[in-house]
A and B are shown apart, each in its own frame.
Chain A
Amino acid sequence: MTAAPIRRRPPGPPRGRQGAAPLGVPGWVVALGAVGAAFVLLPLLAVVLRVNWAEFVPLVTSRSSLDALGLSLRTSLTATVLCVIVGVPMAVMLARTDFWGQRVLRSLVLLPLVLPPVVGGIALLYTFGRRGLLGQSFEALGVSIAFSTTAVVLAQTFVALPFLVLSLEGALRSVGTRFEAVGATLGARPTTVLRRITLPLVLPAVLSGAVLSFARALGEFGATLTFAGSLQGVTRTLPLEIYLQRESDPDAAVALSLVLVVVAVIVVAVAHRVGESSGRRLRGSGS
Chain B
Amino acid sequence: MTFEVDAEVLSRGFDARITVAEGETVALLGPNGAGKSTLLGLAAGLIAPDRGRATLGGRVLLDVGSSGRQVVLPAWRRGVSLLAQEALLFPHLTVRENVAFGPRSTGASRAEARRSADAWLERVDATDLARRRPAELSGGQAQRVAVARALATEPELLLLDEPLAALDVSVAPAIRRLLREVLQHRTAIVVTHDVLDAYTLADRIVVLEAGRVVDAGPARAVLDRPTTPFAAGLAGLNLLVGTADADGAVVLDDGQRLSARSAGALEPGAAAALAVRPSAVRVLALADPGHHDNTITATVSDVEPRGDVVRIRAGRIAADVTPAEAADLDLQPATAVHFVFSAEDALAYPV
- What 1/0 mask marks residues of chain A from 201 to 231 whose CB sits below 8 Å from any chain B CB? 1010000000000000000000000000000
Q: Do A186 and B102 contact each other (CB < 8 Å), given the known contacts A5-B141, A8-B135, A285-B135?
A: yes
> Which one of B78, B79, B101, B149 has the greatest number of beta carbons of chain A within 10 Å?
B101
Query: How far apart sit A4 and B92, CA to CA, in the bound complex (Å)?
Result: 21
User: At the interface, yes or no: A197 with Cβ under 8 Å from chain B?
Assistant: yes
State whether A3 and B138 are in contact (beta carbons under 8 Å apart), knowing that A188-B101, A192-B105 are contacts in the complex: yes
A200 at interface, CB cutoff 8 A: yes
**Complex partner residue of A197 from B84, B90, B135, CB under 8 angstroms:** B90
Which of B74, B77, B80, B82 is the one whose CB lies under 8 Å from A182? B82
Q: How far is the CA of A197 from the CA of B97 in the complex (A)?
A: 12
Q: Report A-chain residues with C-beta under 8 Å of the C-beta of B329.
A: none
Q: Write the A233-269 contact mask toward B (1 if CB under 8 angstroms, else 0).
A: 0000000000000000000000000000000000000
Q: A200 touching B135 by the CB < 8 A rule?
A: no
Docked-complex contact B105 and A188, CB < 8 angstroms:
yes
- Residues from chain B with a CB closer than 8 A to the CB of A188 are 76, 101-102, 105-106
Q: Is A112 an interface residue (CB 8 A)?
A: no
User: Closest Cβ of chain B: how far from A4's Cβ, in Å?
Assistant: 7
Question: Is B149's CB under 8 angstroms from A187's CB?
Answer: no
A29 CB within 8 Å of chain B: no
Say yes or no for A7: interface residue by CB 8 A criterion.
Answer: yes
**A131 contacts chain B at the CB level, 8 A cutoff:** no
Per-residue CB proximity of B150-171 to A under 8 Å, as 1/0?
Answer: 1001000000000000000011
Q: Is the CB of B88 within 8 A of A5?
A: no
Which of A6, A179, A281, A282 is close to B88, meaning CB atoms less than 8 Å apart? A179
Output the least CB separation between B42 and chain A (Å). Answer: 13
**Given A1-B171, A181-B46, A187 contacting B76 (CB threshold 8 A):** yes
Given A3-B141, A187-B105, the answer on whether A181 and B135 have CB atoms closer than 8 Å is: no
Judged by a CB distance under 8 angstroms, whether A183 is at the interface is: yes
A189 pairs with B135, CB closer than 8 A: no
Whether, in the assembled complex, B259 has its beta carbon less than 8 Å from a beta carbon of chain A, the answer is no
Whether the Cβ atoms of A284 and B135 lie closer than 8 Å is yes
| Known contacts A3-B141, A5-B138, A282 near B102 by CB under 8 Å | no
Cα distance, A82 to B136, chains bound together (Å): 37
- Pair B170/A1 contact, Cβ less than 8 Å: yes
A185 touches B44 (CB 8 A): yes
Closest to B141 in A: A3
Chain B residue total in the interface (Cβ 8 A): 36
B80 in contact with A3 (CB, 8 Å):
no
CB-defined contacts of B91 to chain A, threshold 8 Å: 201, 282-284
B248 interface residue per 8 A CB criterion? no
State whether the Cβ of A178 lies closer than 8 Å to any Cβ in chain B: yes
Distance in angstroms from B255 CB to nearest chain A CB is 54
CB-CB under 8 A for A186 and B153, given A1-B171, A181-B46, A192-B105: yes
**By CB atoms of chain A within 10 A, which of B45, B138, B153 has the most?**
B138
B49 proximal to A (CB < 8 A): no
Q: Provide the bound-state CA to CA distance between A179 and B86, in Å.
A: 11
Q: Give the residues in chain A near B150, CB-CB below 8 Å.
A: 186
Does A58 lie at the interface of the complex (its beta carbon under 8 Å from any beta carbon of B)?
no
Residue of B nearest to A278 (CB): B92
Please pick, from B76, B135, B141, B171, the residue contacting A184 in the complex, using a CB distance under 8 A.
B76
* A63 located at the interface, meaning its Cβ lies under 8 Å from any Cβ of chain B in the complex: no
B211 interface contact, C-beta 8 A = no
Contact with B along A171-185 (1 / 0, CB 8 A): 000000011011111
Q: B92 near A186 (CB under 8 angstroms)? A: no
The answer to whether A190 has its CB under 8 Å from any CB of chain B is yes
B75 within 8 A of A: yes
User: Is there an interface contact between B138 and A182, defined as CB atoms closer than 8 Å?
Assistant: no
**Roughly how many angstroms separate A283 CA and B137 CA in the complex, as a whole number?**
11
Please give, as numbers and ranges, the residues of chain A lying within 8 Å of B192 by CB-CB distance.
Answer: none
Q: Is A50 close to B, CB under 8 A?
A: no
Given contact pairs A1-B171, A200-B92, A185 touches B133 in the complex (Cβ within 8 A): no
Decide if B136 touches A284 in the complex (CB within 8 Å).
Answer: yes
- B187 within 8 A of partner (CB): no
B350 at the A/B interface (Cβ < 8 Å)?
A: no
Contact partners of A181 in chain B: CB under 8 A: 44, 46, 75, 82
Considering the complex of A and B, which 6 residue pairs feature the smallest CB-CB distances, nearest first? A284-B135, A188-B105, A186-B102, A184-B75, A187-B106, A185-B82
Interface pairs (6), CB distance under 8 Å: A5-B138, A179-B88, A181-B44, A184-B74, A185-B82, A186-B149
Residues in B lying within 8 Å of A, measured CB to CB: 44-46, 74-82, 84, 88, 90-92, 101-102, 105-106, 132-141, 149-150, 153, 170-171
- Known A179-B90, A283-B91; 8 more pairs at CB < 8 Å: A1-B171, A179-B88, A181-B75, A183-B105, A186-B81, A186-B102, A186-B105, A283-B135
